[in-house]
Amino acid sequence: MLLRLQAQLFGMDESKLFVIGIIIGVVVSILILIKMYANGPSCEIRRFLHGKYVLITGANSGIGKETAYELARRGAYVIMACRDIEKGKKARAEIKRKVPSADIVIKHLDLASKASIDRFVYEFREVYSRLDILINNAATGFSRERETTEDGFELAFGTNHLGHFYLTSKLMSLLEDSSPSRVINVTSKIAFTAKMNWDDLQSERNYNLAEAYNQSKLANILHAKELARRYEFPNVRTCSVHPGVSLTELSSISFRNFWVKIFYYPLYPILWLITKSVNKAAQTTVHCALIEHIALSSGGIYQDCRQVYLKDCEAEDPVAARRLWKESLRLLGLPDDEPDLEP
């Protein structure tokens, strides 16, 4: 009866309308399946973090904000380290609306400045006596022209790697005192095939936006690898996380060019379909924060809530990890207590 009325309404016979309905249903089902596949799995660990202190860098937007929300609703005390305090306040307000009981605070931190990191760590230690989970999530570096940090480092390498390296080093004793604890570095799959430009780490001779950013994400993995080796005892574990591709504020930075926008916005529905939602992109970080301490593979790389194993790439090279560690110490003016021996 309904089909007959619809056929009369659209001026076509019932058989044609039935076929069109089937086609539309199939197309919609396929699109739903594509989006479900693109989103990947959700963290299925039913564990709470009451009494645990979690520090997340870059928590005012995108994956960092979603990670803060997910961990706050599981009872963690979340410290949002943000460069933009106003955005941080808005993000905190959004989370509090969803989770009124959330224990969540905002602290200013600019990873492109050693002075800011020093000030942040000093104030952090004045207030908090423990740190259970450090999530190095913040990222920048989509600049068409080479830019530098306050300390003169190339922006992507200086912020994404050296900033987090320096922060982690300054907080390491607190992580040890709070053990069992963990460090989670948020990286990107593009690092799996990236190379360290050892002859020009700061891109001083030749700057390429993609190469500089990719190198900084590879550095995140190598940092976690060497951190795991140097802290071999099980008290502090570390890992790297590829969250997946999502249309976060970070990705939108690369679309400032007018001509790129012309192609980007018409393709947005397709890009939305084949990329993860921001909440789904945060799930692997959440997984690594919630998994039992002994089950977290120290130095491991995680994607889609599981550990992945790479072959024949610099991301798995222990020599590169140690070399980057020593070079990072030199650039930051930090001492190295370990003898210069081959691994």
In the numeric block, the tokens 């976690």 are attached to: 224
The bridge status of strand 181-186 relative to strand 236-242 is parallel
The one catalytic residue in 77, 213, 231, 302 is 213
Structure tokens at 50: 């009451």
Contact 109, 116 (CB under 8 A): yes
Contact 59, 85 (CB under 8 A): no
Structure tokens at 243: 């969250």
Structure tokens at 126: 């004045």
b/e 67-76 (16+ beta carbons within 10 angstroms → b): bbbbbbbbbb
- 37 is annotated as an active-site residue: no
- Distance between alpha carbon 76 and the CA centroid of its chain, in Å? 18
Using CA atoms, how far apart are residues 188 and 218, in angstroms rounded to an integer? 8
In the numeric block, the tokens 């069992």 are attached to: 180
| Sign of the alpha-carbon dihedral angle for 23, 26, 31, 34 | negative
Run of H or E including 186:
strand 181-186
The bridge status of strand 181-186 relative to strand 133-136 is parallel
Using CA atoms, how far apart are residues 187 and 301, in angstroms rounded to an integer? 9
Proportion of the chain in helix, strand, coil states, percent, rounded to 5: 50, 15, 35
Q: Which residues contact 285 (CB under 8 A, 6 or more apart)?
A: 63, 67, 135, 137, 184, 186, 241, 243
Q: Which residues contact 219 (CB under 8 A, 6 or more apart)?
A: 157, 160, 161, 196, 324
**Which residues are known catalytic residues?**
213
